[in-house]
Structure 1
Amino acid sequence: MVFQETVLTLPPDCDRNVVNEGMLVLADIGENSKILHIQTATNWVLELVQKYLTTGFTPDFLQEEAQKAEGWRQSLTLQSQELSRRFIEVEARREQIQNLEAKLQQEKELLESTIAQLKNSPTAPPI
């Protein structure tokens, strides 16, 4: 597939009757946007019509499928937003826990320091 406007050059051995302005064609494109093979898309389109429109792929069916796909897309978007919200909450809680751990560590060190001072103090009662 060519996703952007690209100028392609026909190979010298190309059947010029295959390509007319406004005509739908299928082209195999190689490196450097070189056309390797080109053919009319008529048979391909007719095969698609025969294959899909004769087996129940009506415009109404396709519209319903498009609506289902849109519903799924919206559902996935909501799920993604919910997961993002939960992730932010978990990160906030993790940060709170880390802060509490740091505070507890500081208090522990302060208590150990106080106990050590009391043990080394000559006027301190034995513990």
Structure 2
Amino acid sequence: MLHLAQVHQQAPSQPPGLKLLAAQEVGDAWTVLTGEVLLPPEQADKVKPAQLVLADLSPDNEVLQLQDAKDWVLEIIQSHLGDATIPTLLKDEVERAEQWRQSLTLQSQELDRRALEMEARREQIQELEENLKQERRDLELQREQLGQAQQQFEMLRNQLSDQSV
């Protein structure tokens, strides 16, 4: 498995080791790690302290192959952070932000429209309630007038029946 590591030496009398920084998972996916691996003597003189290296390690953490990571790091920088990539990334983000803004504007307009519709309906309901109250008052007044007319009718009928007797 491929690892990004830094050559590390505790003391000049001790053999150098590799401080593991990351391990390649699948494709371009990497996982950050911590750990150390000792370098075999035949590979120790090929590296310098603090050098970044790509190390191919066996499942038992034996160093199978070492190579300087400088070219690999520069390639990543050029492909992911180069002049052409950053404007493209920024352009994509600006386009995405503009789409979000437009979407939010449309949602806001729709909410405003619904709020206006609800306000208009509320006013209609209030107007209908007022009309209903007025009609009830009118009906009560007509009922009172009808009651008075019935009383007058009864009085007149009683008077006529008293006169005819």
1:50 maps to 2:76? no
Tell me which residue corresponds to 1:123. 149
Q: Whose Rg is larger?
A: 2
Q: Secondary structure at the match of 1:59?
A: coil
The alignment status of 1:87 with 2:87, answered yes or no, reads no
Per-residue deviation at 1:74?
A: 0.8
Matches of 1:61 and 1:123 in 2, distance apart? 95
- Mapped to 1, the partners of 2:124 and 2:149 lie a distance apart of 34
Segments of 5+ residues of structure 1 without an aligned counterpart are 1-46
Alpha-carbon distance between aligned partners in 1 of 2:105 and 2:128, rounded to the nearest angstrom = 34
How many residue pairs align between the two structures? 76
In 2: Cα distance, 1:96 partner to 1:103 partner: 11
**Which amino acid in structure 2 is aligned with residue 50 of structure 1?**
V
Deviation of 1:62 after TM superposition, in Å, equals: 2.3
2:127 is matched with which residue?
103
Q: For structure 2, list consecutive stretches of 5 or more residues without a partner in the other structure.
A: 1-69, 151-165
Taking the aligned partners of 2:89 and 2:137, their CA distance within structure 1 comes to: 71
Deviations 1:1-58 (A, max 9, x none): xxxxxxxxxxxxxxxxxxxxxxxxxxxxxxxxxxxxxxxxxxxxxx9x928416x313
- 2:90 is matched by which residue type in structure 1? A
Residue of structure 2 equivalent to 1:75? 99
Give me the whole-angstrom Cα distance separating, in 2, the residues matched to 1:111 and 1:123: 20
Which runs of at least 4 in structure 1 moved beyond 3 Å after TM superposition?
none
Normalising by the residue count of structure 1, what TM-score does the alignment of the two structures yield? 0.52
Deviations 1:51-75 (A, max 9, x none): 8416x31332222111110101111
- Aligned equivalents of 2:131, 2:138: Cα separation in 1: 10
Counterpart residue identity of residue 123, structure 1: A
Query: For 1:74-93, what per-residue CA distance to the aligned partner results, in whole angstroms no more than 9, with x for missing partners?
Result: 11111121122112111111
Give the CA deviation at 1:102: 0.5
Separation in 2, partners of 1:92, 1:113: 32
Deviations 1:73-126 (A, max 9, x none): 1111111211221121111111101100100000010111111111111238xx
Superposed CA RMSD in Å reads 2.4
Question: Which structure ranks higher in relative contact order (CA pairs < 8 Å, sequence separation ≥ 6)?
Answer: 2
- Once residues 142 and 88 of structure 2 are traced to their aligned partners in structure 1, the CA distance between those partners, rounded to angstroms, is 80
Q: Distance in 2 between matches of 1:50 and 1:72?
A: 29
